[in-house]
Structure formats: C-alpha cells, structure tokens
Amino acid sequence: MSNPGAYQSLRQDEAVERAALLTVTAYEVELDLAASEETFDSRTTIRFHSVGGDTFLDVKPVALRAVTLDGAVVDVATLAAGRLPLRVAEGDHELVVDAVMPFRTDGEGLHHHTDPADGRRYVYGMSFMDAAPTVFACFDQPDLKAPFTFTVRAPHDWTVTGNAPGRQVEPGLWRLEESQPLSTYFVTLVAGPYHHLAAEHDGIRLGLSARQSIARHLDADAEELFTLTRQCFDEFHRLFGIRYPFGDYHQAFVPEFNAGAMENPGCVTFRDPLVFTSRVTRGARIQRATTLAHEMAHQWFGNIVTPRWWDDLWLNESFAEYMGNRVTADVTQYGDAWVHNAHRRRQWGLVADQRPSTHPVAGNGAVDAASALQDFDGISYAKGSSVLKQLAASVGDDVFLAGVVDHLTRHRFGNATMHDLFGSWERAGAGDLSGFVDGWLRTPGVDELRLDREAGALLRVPPADHPAQRRHTVRVASATSDGDWDTRSVAIEAGSTPYAVEPGAAVVVDAHEDSWSLSSPDPTGVEALVRLLPRTDDAMLRAGIWNAVRSGLHTGRVSPADDVRLVEAGLPSERNDDGVAVVGAWALGRLRAVVEDPTDLDTRVAGAARALLAGAETGSTLQLAAYAVYVEALDDEAELRAHLGGRGVPAGITVDEAVRWRILVRLAVLGHLEAAELDAELAAAPSAVARVEHARARASLPSAEAKAWAWSHFTGASTASNYEVEAIGLGLWRRGQEEVTGPYVERYLTELPGIAEVFSGWLLADVTEAYFPLTARSPEVLERARALAGDDRLPPPVRRRVGDLADELARRL
C-alpha cells in the first residue's frame, strides 16, 4: 500500500472564500476503468459562475494531461499539493480537466479489490473528505453542490451503479442520468462483476449488490434487507412527510470499506462483512439493521440538507444515529435496538468524552477537512444521538419533528448550519434553546453522577476542565441483595440532589440511559451487584449495570479484582447475546490488560462462558456468543484442536469460517501452531474474511519472525489491504508476548514520524492506533508517547490518536 500523495487539506477559511467566489452549476465526468488495473482516465467538465478573482481547483492525479478554461490552456505545471491555481473573470465558465487517476487500496478514492476467492476485480468510490479529487477534478467542499452526470467505460462483464439511475448504452459503456445537486463527498461509483438483486417499494426501485463469491449469502439475507428498507422508508415518509428525492435506492456491499457505511444519495455503500458469510448473533443483525436505518436517515438529514462545513458534522451523524436506532426499534423486528445501542455505542462515546481530545458535539473546531475526519467519533455519534434523544423528550415529539421538517424544507438541496436547525426548532415551539446548546452541544465533557451514601444524595460532578450547567432527568434503580429493583425518576440539576438509599443497596444511576452521564458502582454497590446480577432479567437495566461497571474500570473507581468477580457472577446469567459478546470482549481485552494474573482471568472467564453455554438453548445466538467468548478464553491446546476438527464442539455450534478462524487465532496467540499451518489454512479456503484473519493470526504468533513480518507492514516494506494492515497491528501486541514485542516499542516511538509517507486519510490514524504499544507498561513509554502527541511535526490525526492512547496507557498504569 502506498500513500497517494502529500496534499494540503482544505481549511475552513479557504472554503468560505471560495464559496463566496464560485457557484458551481454542473459536473460532467467521463471515466475509463477498462484500460489498466493501476490507473484510470478521468475527464471532468465543470460549469460554474464566478464573481471574478483567484481561486484553485482540487485535483490529485497520477498525471495531469491537460486543463482548459473557456478553451484557453491552463499550465498544468502549476499543480502543487493537489491544487491547480486559477484566475477567473466575472461570468460563466467551463473548465475541462484531463487526468490519469490512481486506483487505490486504502478504502478511499476509487478503491480497487481483487477477490482472493475467485480473482474477480471490483472497484467502488469513496469520495469522503479529501478523497474526491483522486477520482475527478472538483471544487471539493460541502457547500459547493452541483448535479453530476457520469459516463463510464468498463470491462464488458461489469455493471456500473452510481448516484443516479443509469444504463449500458453499448457493451462496456454506461451513462448515468443527471443527479440531484450533490456535495462532492457524496459522489460514488460501484463498478465490477457484482451480483445484483432488485425490488420495488412505493414507486422507488430498490437494489442490493455484493461480490460474486458471497452472492449466495446476499441472496439468503435479501428478504430481510429489503423488508427493513421498506419499513424504514415508510416510517421516514410518515415522520417527515417529505418523499425520498434521489431516484433509485441502491445498497452496495463493497470490500475493504473503512467506515460502517456511507450515505451516498441513491447508492449507499456498506462494508461487505455485513453480508454474513457465517452464522452471526442477533446483535450483529441489529447492528446491520441500525446501520441500514442510519444511512436512510441521512437521505433526508445530510443529503437533502448538508452542513456548510465540517464543524457541523454532528448535524449529519448525531441525527442519523438517533433516528436510525429509533426507527429500527419502532418499526422493525428489532424492537430491542436501544439495548443493542447501550451495549455497543455508549462506552464508545463516554470514553471519547473523557479523552484529552474531547470536543464539543457542535462547533468542534474543524479547521480543515483532515482534522475534521478525527471528529467522526463516539462524541459525534453516540453522545450527539443521546443529546438529540433528550431534546426530543424535552420539547415533545411534535415540536421536534416539526422543526426538522421546517429545516429540510427551507434548505432543500442546499447547505445549513446548527443555528439554522435550532432556529427551526424554536419557530416550531421549542422556546429559547440557547441554554441547551451551551450546556450540551457547545461544552465538551461528561458529568459524573455519583452516589453519596452518607449524605443520602446524588451528586452531579462536571468535568473540572469543562464545567457547565446541565440538568439530568434519569431513572435511578436500587435494590438490596435480597430485594427487588426499585426504579424512580430523578431530576439532577444542582450539585447535590437528595436521594435516600437502603443500607447495603446497589444503586445504578441513569439505569436506562436517559441522559448523557457517567456513573459507576461504589464498593457497597459492587458487593450487592455480585449477588443481584444473576437474578436481574431486565435487559436494559443489565446493559446499564454493565456500562457502569465498565466505566468504573476506566475511571479507576472499581478495582480490576472486583470487575473479575462481577464478570464471573453476571456473565452466566446474561441473556442478551450483545451483552455476552461485549462484556466478554471487554473482559478479555481491557480488563485482561490490567489484572495481576491474566491466565487466572482467562480461566475464570472460560468458566463463566462454559456455565452460560450449559444453560443456553441449543442452536441459539446466545449459545453462539457464549462459545465465542469461551474459545477466546480457552488455553487448552488439545481441546482447541479437537474443536478445529469438529470434535467436542457443543451441539448447535457449526465450525464455519468465522468459528474456524476464531480458533486458529486463539491457537496462534498461545503459540500452538506455525505460520506454515496458517498459510495452508488460507490456501485451502481463500476468501476476503480468511485473508484478514490469517493476517491477524500470523501477527499474533509469539515469535520474532512473526513480529518482524507484522512490523514490515507498518513501515511499508510489505503491503496489504487496509483491513489486513489494521488486523496485523492489533495482532502484533499481545499481553504475555513482551519478550518478542519489546524491540518494537522503541521502533514505534522513533519511526512513527515517518508514517505519513506510507499511509494517508482514514488509514493514517487507524494504523497509528492499531500499532500503538499498549502492552508496554512503562512510565517512560508514557512520557515519550505524550511528547509525540505534542510534536507539531506530526500530522494532526497522528498526534490526536497518540494523545488518546497515551491517556489510555496512563489509566492502565
């Protein structure tokens, strides 16, 4: 994998200046994808009006062949850092750009993938943030929207799908209709020998596509996917009263996609592991359903109306996160979507809000597009969603939805800001929302809600660095170890709110996660929870308890030893497969990193998972989740190898591809197999999934050779796909392998400054994180990591990730 080039990321002040100068009226893009597997020809005609002045075009080619402005030649030698200077007079103009562009393998631009299962080639476009100029020349900022028309030449066995309906006009030549006005970051193409399925609903043509090697799995899930799509369309149309305006609605499952999905109007792209090639839990299906609903919500909020700049990205993501969960819970078979959200998303946001890099939900200071990418985090998604849910509860659903409709109507196919949206809510009857904005959206950090037993009170403790006045209306659950749970609604606004509690009772503050808050059990509560968890059956309450326990470890308020006791007590009685998967992964990951004896932890978690397996229904997804935890905690080579051969596996568990590679990765971590055995496994059944898990397993081997192989991918000496590189980094660092990983601690600290020469965009930050030496439990490493985080010579995404990981290392120490 190679960096496609070092480019200057667009600053907000530059975007404001260019938007004042230009109005773009149309893009016509011609691509030839058939001539080469490394590059493609890109010819772009841009029509725009200017008030006159100096500006620049964004284009990041392998070669810039020719550029003309109103027929006059523009000197291509002036291209620098992805920018071509232009001087334009007042009036209407036509700019034509002829370039050779790179196929990429990092999940951005026009990504190229060769399927290891059958050798077929696939491409898809991801234009998000700074990537569009590696596909077509453009004025790349969200508030210069324009219609797009595409003509694409492709191999004859390929299909081409994009933002607008299209057809093949001759063998290998495709023309797409003119789209609605789009921001450049929404533009996509999905091209290759994809397997396609079609349906229709309410006058909207629906489509699904995926690689040929997973076609049968898409076929198996198609009924569920189409049903979810129909249900969500009906609900969004009911809620907003505004028809979906982008023509066809195609959902493409594409390989090696960095995000969960991208909301491109008319052609949403999803990571194709969401086409399940092995048996999965109910929680995995809920995650897919909420992702599908999330991207559909974007068709209104984000696509019809788009933020003017990235500092309002929460207008996209927080809204889609809230509506995706809400609509999934309200109208699909997954009525427990909010329980899933509690297990999977809450801690992501809470931890992000406690990091040094915490930022406001709104107005996050995104000075340029590259730094804005790092704010697509748990704050913009999970926290923002929680805040919007609180707002809807406060102002009432009628006012909330009326404000949204007003916003979408006023700014249809245009751009808007947070102030525009809140103005719509205030006009709809919400009243003055300035205090809400200041406390919840403009001020970073999370309040801790803490029980003071002696005073008989609940305390609101705002973060010291970011104090704010915030009111929390939450449900507080309490119970003694021999009693039943009692739940009461409590408003917590001042520093101290009276709350009487029985002696020895467990208290779970914000038990149903009604507010954005942080809490954890005190020592008395831990003792009660050890006895209460086995007989607590309310799924949402259990999720609230587990989140409090996980927060307690993160903040240091609950000891690792007590956390182990709680996992041992609570895991065997968990009846939500998301709870099993999340708590199991947390215990064997974050908790394992800090306990005194990780082998003892593994034994106790394996015992808890075995107890859960014994009581789980044969063939249930609960059993599947329990078995996954059991395998990852097991250290018995003979039993693992027996299971690999299908012997001794619990009835109801099939050793499919996912289970097989889970066992192989565990054997690799324990050092019970060789690289050659892993290579043979991959050769026997090559697939995209197998290739990633093979990379993870090989990097996890406790040998000097394996770690050197893993490190070669960090430096760029060896290349692999984006999924593989991240898996290799995560496999490199395993607790208990410090003897062989030791040399790479120093290498990371000294070689990190060169990473931007190897990786870019999304992957730059992900690789920084995946390769960080979290197993190096040393104050010296912490000190040097903090120094790197403050080094202005490193790219901002690298500094930010290193700073957050230094914070995590400090907490572990």
Tokens of residue 487, six digits: 């739940």
Contact present, 67 and 74 (Cβ < 8 Å): yes
| Contact between 401 and 409 (Cβ < 8 Å) | no
Contacting residues for 129 by C-beta, under 8 A, at least 6 apart: 185, 369, 370, 372, 373, 761
HSE (side-chain half, CA atoms, 13 Å) at 318:
26
Q: In this predicted structure, what is the pLDDT of residue 365?
A: 62
Q: Could you count the other beta carbons within 10 Å of the beta carbon of residue 709?
A: 19
Distance CA 545, CA 528 (A): 12
Domains annotated for the chain, with CATH where assigned, are 1-166 (2.60.40.1730), 322-441 (1.10.390.10), 451-554 (no CATH)
Are 772 and 801 in contact by the 8 Å Cβ rule? The answer is yes
Segment 197-228, tens digit of pLDDT: 999 999 999 999 999 999 999 999 999 999 99
Q: Is 513 left (phi over 0), alpha (psi -120 to 50) or beta?
A: left
pLDDT at 2: 36
Is the pLDDT score of 87 beyond 90? yes
Q: Which two tokens stand for residue 652?
A: 């109801």
How many whole angstroms separate alpha carbon 790 and alpha carbon 294?
36
* Separation of alpha carbons 66 and 329, rounded Å: 53
Please say whether the beta carbons of 283 and 626 come within 8 A.
no
CA dihedral 681, 686, 691, 694 (to 10 degrees): 0
How many other β-carbons are positioned within 10 Å of the β-carbon of residue 412? Answer: 13
Average pLDDT over residues 17-38: 97
Q: Does the pLDDT of residue 4 top 80, yes or no?
A: no
pTM (2 d.p.): 0.96
Instruction: Classify 86 as helix, strand or coil.
Output: strand
Cβ count within 10 A of residue 231: 21
- Written as six digits, the tokens of 482 are 């021999």
Task: Quickly list H helices, 374-443.
Answer: 384-395, 397-410, 418-425, 434-436
Q: What is the set of active-site residues?
A: 295
For residues 290 and 55, give the distance between their C-alpha atoms in angstroms, rounded to a whole number: 41
How many CB atoms within 10 Å of residue 519? 25
Residue the block writes with tokens 């996209």 = 316
> Which class for 603: exposed (0-12), middle (13-18), buried (19 or more C-beta within 10 A)?
middle
Question: Model confidence over 359-374: pLDDT tens digits?
Answer: 998 876 667 877 777 7
What would the mean pLDDT of 666-670 be, rounded to a whole number? Answer: 98
Q: For residue 307, give the 3-state DSSP assignment.
A: strand
| Tokens 């400054």 found at | 753
32, containing H or E segment: strand 22-32
Q: How many CB atoms lie within 10 A of CB 714?
A: 25
From 126-130, 313-317, 633-637, the region with the lowest mean pLDDT: 313-317
Residues 775 and 735 sit within 8 Å (Cβ to Cβ): yes
Output the pLDDT for position 1. 33
- pLDDT tens profile 229-247: 999 999 999 999 999 999 9
Q: How confident is the model at residue 43 (pLDDT cuts 50, 70, 90)?
A: very high
Distance (Å) of CA 180 to CA 414, 459, 795: 11, 51, 35
User: Looking at residues 511-525, what average pLDDT do you find?
Assistant: 96
Determine the Cα–Cα distance for residues 188 and 262; give it in Å rounded to an integer. 10
Instruction: Tell me how far apart the terminal alpha carbons of the chain are, to the nearest angstrom.
Output: 35
Q: How far apart are CA 451 and CA 497, in angstroms?
A: 10
Helix (H) or strand (E) holding 564: helix 560-570
d(CA 792, CA 428): 46
Strand-by-strand arrangement of the 472-479 sheet: 486-492, 472-479, 506-508
Percentage of residues of the chain with pLDDT beyond 70: 99
Q: Given this model, what pLDDT does residue 453 score? A: 95
What mean pLDDT do residues 259-287 have? 97
pLDDT in the model for residue 3: 42
Residue 367: predicted pLDDT: 78
Instruction: Report the chain's mean pLDDT, rounded to a whole number.
Output: 95
Q: What are 113's strand-pairing partners? A: 122
The arithmetic mean of pLDDT across residues 716-738, rounded, is 96
